[in-house]
Structure 1
């Protein structure tokens, strides 16, 4: 984007460019509109009318993306892109996550959204399709959260809201410029009793971004993030009958074992960038610690096996990494050329312990040690990317990445009945991508792209063998994906924008659940799968004070090659006997999604209405059960007053206005067939926000 500054008498007009961000699939001085990729940028409105507690609140307008609030703060938001990651029952899989350029996805591909501080954010960028392969170990896409850069005159902000289920959120943001330091510090406190029984939670988060102009063309950014969520209660999933009788209940064993999860994470990073003529350098380093303790509802019986690792998971992780990139902004054969070359290395060292979740006849407390191992995973990647406008109407974007991921595990819990489970496994892949853009007119583009991706198992998926024997599942292969996309982009001077993408992703050796029993899931590689569909996004101003926004996705995700799987008892299952037929839908993926929003801002008032809809989804690999589709209506209103020190704003939001019963999310392949996590009935949020100038 270009910002033209008024010319003074006798002076030439000047132009200020946005700050350079050298990233994979992002090209200096080239608009996303001219790239052969599906990329959506959402502004995180400081005048939003929701709770601001979870990232899922701002992601509805991204086609191809499914972000489901589970009404369970002991589990992360369910996030999938074009069907990748939908099977994950913990964390985020198949989607690369970053915060201010710092990875929130570990080298094994496991990511977390919990520490994303929405209150201090400026925008969210979502990249879908082949070019996400340039970010490494993921197949579905990339999601990045960016904090605002403090500038002179930025107001400070205080925001507080209260809503249904005794939910409250209070945030403070300090943003501005003092001396040579740009600063943005945002802290937020959230608590709720939960819509379902046994689902109370509390969260504190703080995020800080400090920028220093060291010299002309040189900048240093310091990034800090802290997150604490102690004892978030887990109500677990419900059966279909339980949902019918009382969707707000918790499963009986949830209270019996007091299922809960505590998470604490702190991390810091630094980014140095320098521009020297046509060259740009960027160096990023980060390090952090994350501690997780989770109490599961596993009965003492299964834990009698000497190979069982207990009903309490205790993880302590240290992680960090480096990323170095060089960019050249020049010409090739007299035509504009942008070249990026870089490398990065990331490492996670995790101390994984397991304990019994009982002592004597008392349940839900930490008992004897049953697992003690040191896990390490690291990656070393190299990548290159080139954008070349080889004619006035044509441009090309080419790239490749080589990744090597190493897993190492050392077992320190060795008994007569539990042998040494130590082991290691290495994975490597080269993922090329290419795309072409045709400039039909100033406001219309057509493009095509293709590429390959790969996805390794995570340490959680390597943790248990399907046959129940000791040791890691080191026979698991990495999934490989071939991605194809064609699309068009149109925009008008009025601000209207229309984008359409048709895509296909064919995968081999995809990971699926092999057995799920006794509180433990094991995995296996299955045959070919396919995800194909269409995405449509449309933004349309209506007059000077109204806006219409639409995002629609049609997605066919299915098994292409039949395979056998295990269901129910006995466990472990050494001989899978249940066939998943070719053509069976992949679980967790709706065929259709729709988001529509109309907003009207007459003067100091703001009004908005939303429609959110999704078709039914399967809940298990066999395709024998599903969750019905739903359509919800949400309303917002706000009023702003001008005060001597800054604007004061009151807002209100009603979710599920028509009080529909629906399934908000599902637990894919739950061993107890408690697949369903109901969504809340009609709920409200009201709040105040004050921004004051200093």
Structure 2
């Protein structure tokens, strides 16, 4: 989490017209004197409008129009959304790493940097904040960017909402939101159910989610918020990736071993948090605490022969454990040398405890069932951070935002599966870093701001990346170093009273000790530090009213992500690879990162109807470190329409959406460095969604 707050106008977003936002709290005590237009950072505020025309079940639906952000739905709910910001996090083959995730201020990223989006509940959400660039580093470990979801605050007279959708591939969703205020209690409770047979074979899944935010006005300037979230996603089938030949033959097929081993994943999570805020004339105190429990069971397609080694951890992953943390911060508003000053100081600590078990995925000749125990260890990760941030308008046309964060992360593992042929794998490793950031803003005119910012960031290995040594020996990969980055950004922001907005940013991030795959064998990957990489590019976001009823949105990203120092890798043939032998030349593109992305949307309301047309395009994407496999670029066209009727109790709304209207064949996402060269996850053909929503007042 970060020791600073800010808000910026939405440069572009998927969905209806954005609300005009004042200064909004991103994280920490509110910086009351700072207008959102006067901060040296790139951020998009996505208004999660109640009039959205999608399924409303997956958070990626709301993030198509954010410059610099890549959110790819994999047509595979056993694996989370592929999420990267300016190329950070693109190498992740499961979950989200390299990008910091939070929901209502509660971390959705664990202390080791691994995060999940699956419990983000769109039905109860009011907005999503996406932060890019140097100031992301103020959120600590693995903050190449930040994504935060905020639930709405119930107010008197808020309507309740019932929403249902039906669509292609037997997909359906049902959601209920109760929102309002009773006496001193503000409430927002959202429950949703989603299920699908999947566009690909062996892709069925369902997901139930409950999110609740209860706010209590204790006294003038005092507020208590209680936060609850529950997720249940049982037996989500995993169709696995496909080779290029399999995609050509039938893009809807699942890999044969997916059905043979019954590849699937079950996730259950429950968490609660409490936030106390005390706001006085010049000072604000904020205290947050949270705790949760998460279980994961995943069946992999690892053949019994690969598990013959006494060091193998098996083909079934079983994780169970708790997590929690506290965050305290203080903000002060005053003057320095007669000029406005904002100061924020704070500290936080987070803990993650995990019981990791591994089992064989066979019993005798029966495959896809839990067999003998092959791994039993207790992992602990914790961090303790301190941070400070100051904003100072030291001249009428100039302002400075600066801050620093010190982070210390400790990994500990106790091995309880020790045999004559499997020695003790216990170990411990500490990481620490200080990440300073600073930015200047020049007020070039009433409608124009120019800014420059710079900072440092760092990213530790995750528990999964520390799990295996590259040399195949027992124990953790304690020789891995954290990746360290240097980030720079130049930007301009322009907006008019008529509602037009333009955001332009040029950025560069140089990273040392980047983490990459060292070896793939026996169904497991090990990692090592490879040296220097660079991510640089341009982002453009434009929002333009068209007449009195229309709006045009545009988001474009050009990103060059390359290796700066050559190295040897295990990616490629022969497989399995036991030691790096394939050279990766300097200048090779980093995998998982398209060179260009484009999103454009025209939305208008010529009466009771609300039609919209949008296009989404991406350039070719490399799938391996060697650059010898890649998914071709694509462009898709989507259509929407909605009609609303008034009723005695509230509006009734019917909506429809057609995705991939031209029925294009394309690769929706890639599995970076897959050891079997099954890199490709095809995107769906033409699909439709039909929905109904009723809002009623009481």
Report TM bin, short chain. over 0.9
- For the residues of structure 1 that align with 2:29 and 2:499, how far apart are their CA atoms? 24
When structure 1 is superposed on structure 2, of 465-474 and 644-653 the one drifting more is 465-474
Residue in structure 1 matching 2:89, options 82, 85, 90: 85
- For the residues of structure 2 that align with 1:152 and 1:25, how far apart are their CA atoms? 25
* SS class of match (2:215): strand
- For the residues of structure 1 that align with 2:289 and 2:476, how far apart are their CA atoms? 31
1:101 corresponds to 2:105: yes
* SS class of match (2:638): strand
Residue in structure 1 matching 2:643, options 639, 645, 648: 639
What is the aligned partner in structure 2 of residue 8 from structure 1?
none
1:253 corresponds to 2:257: yes
- For the residues of structure 2 that align with 1:348 and 1:240, how far apart are their CA atoms? 39
- For the residues of structure 2 that align with 1:675 and 1:570, how far apart are their CA atoms? 16
Distance 1:125 1:690, change over 3 A: same
What is the aligned partner in structure 2 of residue 567 from structure 1?
571
Residue in structure 1 matching 2:165, options 156, 161, 168: 161
Residue in structure 2 matching 1:152, options 128, 149, 156: 156
Distance 1:502 1:24, change over 3 A: farther
- For the residues of structure 2 that align with 1:574 and 1:293, how far apart are their CA atoms? 28
When structure 1 is superposed on structure 2, of 570-579 and 131-140 the one drifting more is 570-579
Residues 520, 577 of structure 2: 8 Å contact kept: no
1:556 corresponds to 2:556: no
- For the residues of structure 2 that align with 1:67 and 1:331, how far apart are their CA atoms? 42
- For the residues of structure 1 that align with 2:476 and 2:523, how far apart are their CA atoms? 17
Residue in structure 1 matching 2:360, options 356, 360, 380: 356
- For the residues of structure 2 that align with 1:571 and 1:315, how far apart are their CA atoms? 28
Instruction: Give ranges in structure 2 of 5+ residues lacking alignment.
Output: 1-5, 8-20
Residue in structure 1 matching 2:296, options 278, 292, 296: 292
What is the aligned partner in structure 1 of residue 544 from structure 2?
540
Distance 1:690 1:326, change over 3 A: same
Residue in structure 2 matching 1:387, options 378, 391, 416: 391
What are the equivalent positions in structure 2 for 1:115-514 lying under 5 Å apart? 115-514=119-518
* SS class of match (2:304): coil
Q: CA deviation at 1:567?
A: 3.5
What are the equivalent positions in structure 2 for 1:64-79 lying under 5 Å apart? 64-79=68-83
Q: CA deviation at 1:32?
A: 2.4
Distance 1:276 1:249, change over 3 A: same
Q: CA deviation at 1:154?
A: 0.3
- For the residues of structure 1 that align with 2:574 and 2:24, how far apart are their CA atoms? 58
1:686 corresponds to 2:686: no
1:593 corresponds to 2:569: no
Residues 236, 266 of structure 2: 8 Å contact kept: yes
Distance 1:227 1:561, change over 3 A: same
Q: CA deviation at 1:61?
A: 1.1
- For the residues of structure 1 that align with 2:577 and 2:694, how far apart are their CA atoms? 59
- For the residues of structure 1 that align with 2:607 and 2:182, how far apart are their CA atoms? 33
- For the residues of structure 2 that align with 1:658 and 1:22, how far apart are their CA atoms? 39
Q: CA deviation at 1:49?
A: 0.4
Could you tell me the TM-score, scaled by structure 2's length? 0.96
Superimposed CA distance per residue, residues 644-663 of structure 1 (whole angstroms, 9 cap, x where no aligned partner): 00000000000000000000
Could you tell me the TM-score, scaled by structure 1's length? 0.97
* SS class of match (2:247): helix
- For the residues of structure 1 that align with 2:237 and 2:377, how far apart are their CA atoms? 27
* SS class of match (1:301): helix
What is the aligned partner in structure 2 of residue 10 from structure 1?
none
- For the residues of structure 2 that align with 1:170 and 1:617, how far apart are their CA atoms? 35
Residues 593, 613 of structure 1: 8 Å contact kept: yes
Superimposed CA distance per residue, residues 335-370 of structure 1 (whole angstroms, 9 cap, x where no aligned partner): 000000000000000000000000000000000000
* SS class of match (1:421): coil
- For the residues of structure 2 that align with 1:458 and 1:301, how far apart are their CA atoms? 28
Residues 29, 330 of structure 2: 8 Å contact kept: no
Superimposed CA distance per residue, residues 256-288 of structure 1 (whole angstroms, 9 cap, x where no aligned partner): 000000000000000000112200000000000
- For the residues of structure 2 that align with 1:357 and 1:22, how far apart are their CA atoms? 44
Distance 1:69 1:629, change over 3 A: same
Q: CA deviation at 1:568?
A: 5.3
Superimposed CA distance per residue, residues 377-408 of structure 1 (whole angstroms, 9 cap, x where no aligned partner): 00000000000000110000000000000000
What is the aligned partner in structure 1 of residue 67 from structure 2?
63
Residues 96, 141 of structure 1: 8 Å contact kept: yes
- For the residues of structure 2 that align with 1:130 and 1:25, how far apart are their CA atoms? 20
Q: CA deviation at 1:518?
A: 2.2
Residues 575, 675 of structure 2: 8 Å contact kept: no
Distance 1:209 1:112, change over 3 A: same
Superimposed CA distance per residue, residues 19-78 of structure 1 (whole angstroms, 9 cap, x where no aligned partner): 984736973332321100001101001010000111100101110000000000000000
Residue in structure 1 matching 2:34, options 11, 30, 33: 30
Residues 22, 325 of structure 1: 8 Å contact kept: no
Q: CA deviation at 1:569?
A: 6.6
Residues 356, 370 of structure 1: 8 Å contact kept: yes
Superimposed CA distance per residue, residues 570-601 of structure 1 (whole angstroms, 9 cap, x where no aligned partner): 77756422110000000000000000000011
- For the residues of structure 2 that align with 1:572 and 1:405, how far apart are their CA atoms? 33
Residues 26, 129 of structure 2: 8 Å contact kept: no
Q: CA deviation at 1:517?
A: 2.8
Q: CA RMSD in A?
A: 1.4
Distance 1:24 1:478, change over 3 A: farther
Number of matched pairs: 680
Distance 1:399 1:24, change over 3 A: farther
Residue in structure 2 matching 1:669, options 644, 666, 673: 673
Residues 467, 572 of structure 1: 8 Å contact kept: no
* SS class of match (1:643): coil
- For the residues of structure 2 that align with 1:31 and 1:512, how far apart are their CA atoms? 41
- For the residues of structure 1 that align with 2:276 and 2:30, how far apart are their CA atoms? 18
